[in-house]
Chains A and B, each alone.
Chain A
Amino acid sequence: MRVISQKRMNSAIMVAIFLAGFVVFHFIGRYFVPMLAYTRHEQPVDFSHVFHGNDVDMSCETCHFFYEDGSWSGIPTLDVCMNCHSEQLGESEAEKVFVTEYVQKNREVQWELYFRQPQCVSFSHSSHVKEAKLACETCHGPQGLSRHPTKYIVNRITKYSYVVYDSASSTIGSALVRSPEENVWGTMGMDECAKCHRARGVSTACFICHK
């Protein structure tokens, strides 16, 4: 058996310690920090897009539509919901909570918003949907196919929010970091906006978004 000199042994220990540090902190950086950086919230009301869209046969435009001046309605306010839900419909727990806690108290539902852009960005739904003919899913993902509200995942620092449609995705942060374009949709960053603009030959001049 070859005798390893004390000196070599020491060097090997040093390399091992170095590698251990590397692995531990790489793991922390890759998995633990995202876990800390992102947090999950529940939406206040258990809303089903599928039920409203398929079972009740409502069109998307009933709740999400363009106003006369071209601005986007976004998430409906309580008035819109109350057109049907002024009284309890059905026996589900979610419906009961919605009617007693919100409709009867005339309290707006404080939905957690998935995709809101910061104030420095001027984003027009009209120009993207009406002019560029983008499908809603391009940016929002298959939100319309959800039976329950998808988990609201928000970055603690930025307040940017994300939706992970892949229910198997266990480590939230890592999923966001690992595969942002596969199963995660969320607040668009400038890179994503610019990438799409470039791909479609649309100007990426600053003033297009930052008025």
Chain B
Amino acid sequence: MKVDRRIFLKTLAFAGGGSLGFLSSPAPWHIVRDLARWTQNWPWVPVPPHGQPAYEKAICMMCDGGCGIKVRKVGPRMVRIDGDKDHPLNRGLICPHGTAALQTVYGPSRIRQPLKRTGTREKPDWKPVSWEQAIGEVAAKIQEIRAAGESHRIVCITNNCESTVNQLLERFLQAVGSKNLVRMNSGRDVRNVALKLMQGVDGDMAYDIENAKLIASFGCSLLEGWGTWGRLYRSYARTFADNPVQIIQVEPNLSITASKATQWVPIKPGTEGALALGIAHVLIRERLHDEDFVEKHCFGFEDWEDSSGKGHSGFKSHVLAQYAPQAVERITTVPAKEIEKLAFKFAENMPAVAVGGKGDGQLFTNVYELMAIHSLNALMGNINKTGGVFVKPEVPLTPLPPVVMDEEAARGYAVDRLDGAGSAAHPFSKSLPGNLKADEIRMLFVHDSNPYYAMPEQNTAHELFEKAPFIVALSCCMNESAARADLILPLNTGLEKWDDQIVAPDSPHPIYNLSRPLVEPLYDNKDAGGVLIEIAKTLGGTIAESFPWASMGEVLEMRVQGIHETGRGMIASPDAMAMLDRGLGPEGSLSQQYPSFASLWKKLLEDNCWFDPEPHHGPLQKALLTPSKKFEFYSQRLKDAFGFEEDAACMPHYEEASLNKDGFDLVIMAEDTLTMADDGKDTPPFLMKQLSDNVLKGNELFVRINPITALYHDLEEGDRVIVESPRGKVEVRLHLFEGVREGVVLIPLGFGHSAYDEFLRDKGVNANEVLEAKTDTITGLPIWWATPGKITKV
């Protein structure tokens, strides 16, 4: 049809009228409104389902700190975590990891069913298998190794928690015929050795920081992961209270703890032990120490003669001769006057505790450093005293029944540990994963830990996972270690499983945390305890006899009966805690409050925590089990074990850390941060989002140096550099920060994962790639707090 002018005009008139007509109707305005509302209901935006809300108490299992949490649930789904105000340790405070813990439950790196590797360890393919097949294969492998008389070559690397699961693992290995339950090292290990050497006790140090007036921290990251975060943050909060505590932070760099402490004492890296001895010098010289305690309960303070009549110099003359403030100033760079002041401050604010173990406790210079720090506690008589240092008390759980062993089990169990812990070379250590050798292992279990990533002895770890003939990972997430296993037995996460924490680190009170499933397991996963019971039953014989229980819940119920039988302590219920806060005890003893075990068990399932506000530490003699039955400034055990001729070698003394190496002009130090999980576990995405652009930008990690260091090396903010050590090199970027000591390169731990989910994988570099782990001659533990390094611009 030909469109002439008339038709065009008519069309125009119709269109014009139509437009006006449409505009005069409500439709266009409603469409605009509807489009705006449509943006609020986009179907691709996930909406949490509705359901019945509920709060349930639980235990945070993100670390072994033992904080109590309150989980908000909507229907069957957990939606939020808060601190539990009624938990005696953290009283409502929790760290960011605890807050973000739900992301590990619902996160994408969970393993959803048992998996069998089909590809190579470097490029694995996974085939889902049934639990029956997975457990059958593990049992068959164990049978094969036992038949070959090599059960002592079965090794299990596990986490460092004090838990019934770890006891069951130990029991399982014993029933099979192996002593090799190897715990990942933690900050407690070196403190345990110091305690063993000076007090003769096999156990953990416990600090009564709640009642201390002063906490002298020699490099401990008190607010960044040392001990129980919730508990230590409460101590920090007390610095503002009516009855305040002072925190003195001795540390080379301005960490979060240092920035929040009452006083920060910057110090030359690795010389914390010398400063402790300098303080001891002033205390002794000015007779500020507890002379009565030292005289009655200490050995090796004054000069002494042994049974053969040979004279030995005592701690007093050793310290007075060598650690005068001026001499210590030359070592530590802390002014002599400041050392004097620190000593007076320490003595005036009794009770005070001196705590050691840099970072989260694992970063120590040598065992003498810890001995030097602990000697301050003894000098002031603060052993087994309110506000001082205790030996951590036992929780009165029913012990597991004796293990039934067959002939092969007895043979294998008699063979020494493969990691050399407890041997003549390292008599005081209990676990040394860094000493494991792949060619001595026939089967390796890895339980709830990530040695491939987290072991400071990275070469050993990598060799283990390359060469160990058969690796079984018990893990809830696909971490670096699980990714290199032959078989993965997937575990429930902390909020889906039966588990417990037998003691909380560093607390002088006996505390028992019971963890029960808050939700049905999301996937076809099991509890570690349950898996062990099933493997034992499949193996049959004496191994099955050693595991008579049906489930992990049953094991825990049996153990808690021990608490009921003692009738001591209280359940951390809101009522009981309110009474305690008012200075009143619980209404009646535990047996009066809960006459039947069933009532106690029910209450414990609700409130998750039993503890004893009156710790019953007993007489001082129970905490002094050395050969002299005294606190030993001169450790006779050390002398007996290593035959040191020099007196100083058996006493706390300062040894210079060897950080000088040709061609390396800087010191690379590991930095423990609160945000990042540095034990190989995953850091939840919420926390990754907290990192500022000068910590991680894109996938690039920043190391921090002092602007003066940068000036000398012609470097600027944001430069891309190679940080190199004798161990290796990594490419990172630079952030200049005046709080870092000159000559130090501060590299944060917890980055550079090659496993887990997209939020964590390939973010930055693993600091362990440049930090060189040396072995402490006495403890056998890795020393990796610092390493020589250099920086070159890319």
Binding site for B on A (CB under 8 A): 10, 13-15, 17-30, 33-34, 37, 67, 69, 71, 73-74, 77, 118-120, 155, 157-160, 177, 189
Assess the A33–B53 pair: CB atoms within 8 A.
no
Assess the B27–A33 pair: CB atoms within 8 A.
yes
A13 and B13 CA atoms in complex are apart in Å by: 10
A118 in contact with B40 given A13-B10, A20-B14, A177-B30 (CB within 8 Å)? yes
Assess the B26–A25 pair: CB atoms within 8 A.
no
A22 and B21 CA atoms in complex are apart in Å by: 4
Q: Which residues of B contact A71 (CB under 8 A)?
A: 53
- B588 contacts partner chain A, Cβ-Cβ < 8 Å: no
Assess the A120–B22 pair: CB atoms within 8 A.
no
B319 to chain A minimum Cβ distance, whole angstroms, is 60
Instruction: Select one of B9, B14, B50, B53 contacting A69, CB under 8 A.
Output: B53
A69 and B52 CA atoms in complex are apart in Å by: 10
Q: Which residues of A contact B31 (CB under 8 A)?
A: 33, 37, 157
Assess the A157–B28 pair: CB atoms within 8 A.
no
A71 and B24 CA atoms in complex are apart in Å by: 44
Known: A14-B13, A67-B52, A158-B40. 5 other contacts (CB 8 A): A30-B25, A73-B52, A74-B50, A158-B37, A158-B41
Assess the A160–B17 pair: CB atoms within 8 A.
no
Assess the A25–B38 pair: CB atoms within 8 A.
no
- B237 contacts partner chain A, Cβ-Cβ < 8 Å: no
Could you list some 12 contacts between A and B, CB below 8 A? A10-B6, A13-B10, A14-B13, A18-B14, A22-B24, A24-B21, A25-B21, A37-B34, A120-B40, A157-B37, A158-B40, A158-B41
How many Cβ-Cβ contacts under 8 Å join chain A to chain B? Answer: 110
Assess the A22–B38 pair: CB atoms within 8 A.
no
Q: Which 6 A-B pairs have the closest CB atoms?
A: A29-B25, A21-B17, A29-B27, A26-B21, A22-B21, A25-B21
- Using a CB-CB cutoff of 8 Å, which residues 704-742 of chain B contact chain A? none
Assess the B45–A20 pair: CB atoms within 8 A.
no
Q: Which residue of B lies closest to A157 (CB)?
A: B34
B96 to chain A minimum Cβ distance, whole angstroms, is 22
A21 and B14 CA atoms in complex are apart in Å by: 5
A159 and B54 CA atoms in complex are apart in Å by: 29
A19 in contact with B41 given A28-B25, A73-B52, A155-B34 (CB within 8 Å)? no
Q: Which residues of A contact B33 (CB under 8 A)?
A: 189
Q: Which residue of A lies closest to B16 (CB)?
A: A18
Q: Which residues of B contact A13 (CB under 8 A)?
A: 10
A74 and B253 CA atoms in complex are apart in Å by: 55
A29 in contact with B26 given A23-B21, A119-B45, A157-B35 (CB within 8 Å)? yes
Q: Which residues of A contact B24 (CB under 8 A)?
A: 22, 26, 29
Q: Which residues of A contact B55 (CB under 8 A)?
A: 69
Assess the A18–B13 pair: CB atoms within 8 A.
yes
Q: Which residues of A contact B22 (CB under 8 A)?
A: 25-26, 28-29
A29 in contact with B28 given A71-B53, A119-B47, A158-B34 (CB within 8 Å)? yes
A36 and B27 CA atoms in complex are apart in Å by: 11
Q: Which residues of A contact B17 (CB under 8 A)?
A: 17-23, 25
Assess the A21–B37 pair: CB atoms within 8 A.
no
Which of B21, B34, B55 is the most central at the interface, judged by chain A CB atoms within 10 Å of its CB? B21
Q: Which residues of B contact A23 (CB under 8 A)?
A: 17, 21
